[in-house]
Chain A
Amino acid sequence: MLKILKYSLSDMMRSRWIYIYTLFYLLLTTALFWLSPDLSKVIISLMNIILVLSPLIAALFSTLYFQQSREFTELLLAQPVRRSSIFWGQYFGVALSMSLSLLTGLGVPFLFYGLLVSGEIWNFLVLLFAGIILSLIFSGLAYYIALKTENKIKGFSLTILLWLFFAVIYDGLFLLILVLFNDYPLDKFALGASLFNPINLARVLILLKLDISALMGYTGAVFQQFLGSAPGMSIAVASLLVWAALPVWGIRRVAMKKDF
């Protein structure tokens, strides 16, 4: 699997878009530092962008990479290599390059603006973790969809719909339910429902770490009230890890049965 991963990674590194993506984060973070040198303010501003953007970009890259590397996959399938190694190697190649982009794009400006001497290092690491795990989850889900769908356009649309659902529609439905069932106690429901949206989980995780109740929203508040900050964070991290493991398992399941 490591050999396949190596080739997928070097393939990704040839793509101009991965550099544009890294450059975008570099410029964005630097610009935010120009506006305010306060590290925690920059973290909050970045949070909202990363929560929406990193899943979208990761999903798009993953779909495009799978669809474009079909020849490579067919070539590999005739070699003495495990099927799961081929697909996992490619998925981790994409996921790793997205994570490296985030790490460089955010890490370099933060280091430059004195991350190590400030007390914000853990807050920054949580932000980075959220960005990376969202990239992993959404590239995995997109890769799974790409494997499942024969039609490229259909696969692409499904991936975008999936992102739209978690980034926008889910919150809308959630609010709608809260308003409609205003008279009932919905705390447990809110708690449960937030576990099913990785973007929400990542947001709750960061806000619990930063301890900003004003920005926490309903789910964040419920998390803190019911579980306290530390257990709440542990549950959020555990759920995110489950979310990241699901597509890895799904990719294997589809890959073992697919014809080429």
Chain B
Amino acid sequence: MIQIQNLSKSFHKNQVLSSLDLEISQPGVFAVLGPNGSGKTTLIKCILGMVIPDSGQIRYQGASITNEWKYRAAISYLPQIARFPENLTVNELLQMIRDIRDQAARAEEIIHLFGIEPWLNSRLGTLSGGTRQKVNLVLAFMYDNPVIIMDEPTAGLDPVALIRLKDLIQAERQKGKIILVTTHVMNFVEEMANEIVFLLDGRIRFRGELAALKRRCGEPTLERAIAKLLQGECLEAGPAAGKTAAENPDKGFFQPKTEIPCSRY
């Protein structure tokens, strides 16, 4: 369904993605992991056409997405930071998106699920971070689209909302959808993900099932296995696989490369 070939992108001098290849052909939940600044959000935004890659190809159902826009009707997107027009109310925002997308929606069901009825007539600027994220989730889940892309969906959610979100993702997976999630919460990955896509320095350095990752790293828990990956151990051989984090101390987990300005996100 989604094929990415040789994707490269740099912001000024900062190479965020370098010759990345990824193919997702079967449904399931794919957790995109990696340290801050490893290019997760940029990868997602490239798929959505919000960031224009320097080179490389992205195909959706065999057709290139360059300068295309219709394919976005098949993708639900949950952005990392819920940034909405501040002076609209929740209802006006939902109405606007429904008007623009013009697809069958089940907004009421999701609104009820996350319990945001009391805020429907409040301005988005006055909402708390968690409530904004719930509105964000309504926008992402109200359409029955074959692809769902979520950037940090758990941010700011209370435990009840988190459980509802997990149930919702399970239900969508049952329908045979492709669900792409970035997160830093390892419990969430362990519980939800079918496959892990590990990004480091703009390349995919591991791709496979959770069990395979644990076996490869010889660690009993996912958290420890990921920590090993982040330290540059047990990575898949790649063009730069010879270099470990020890040789590249500035590219380790705790010292990310130059920060990308927030406006880029």
Interface residues of A (CB under 8 A from B): 3-4, 7, 11, 14, 69-72, 74-83, 150, 256-260
Contact = CB atoms under 8 A, between A and B. Distances in A.
Contacts of B86: 71
B224 interface: no
Nearest to A77: B50
A78 B48 CA distance: 6
A80 B71 CA distance: 7
Chain B: interface secondary structure? mixed
Given A75-B97, A81-B69, A11 B85 contact: yes
Contact of B52 (A7, A78, A81, A257): A257
Contact of A69 (B67, B73, B79, B85): B85
Interface in B241-265: 261, 263-264
How big is the B interface, by class?
A: 20 to 34
B100 A71 contact: no
Contacts of B48: 77-78
Given A71-B85, A260-B50, A80 B73 contact: yes
Nearest 10 Cβ contacts at the A-B interface: A80-B73, A71-B83, A80-B72, A78-B77, A259-B51, A72-B85, A260-B50, A77-B50, A82-B69, A79-B100
A150 B75 CA distance: 28
B188 interface: no
Best-buried of A69, A75, A76, A81 by chain B (most CB within 10 Å): A75
A69 B87 CA distance: 10
B49 interface: yes
Nearest to B53: A259
A202 to B, nearest CB: 34
A78 B72 contact: yes
A81 B87 CA distance: 22
Contacts of A7: 96
B72 A79 contact: yes
Given A11-B85, A82-B69, A150-B263, A77 B49 contact: yes
Contact of A260 (B51, B73, B261): B51
Interface string B5-31: 000000100000000000000000000
Contacts of B100: 3-4, 76, 79, 81
A194 B9 CA distance: 44
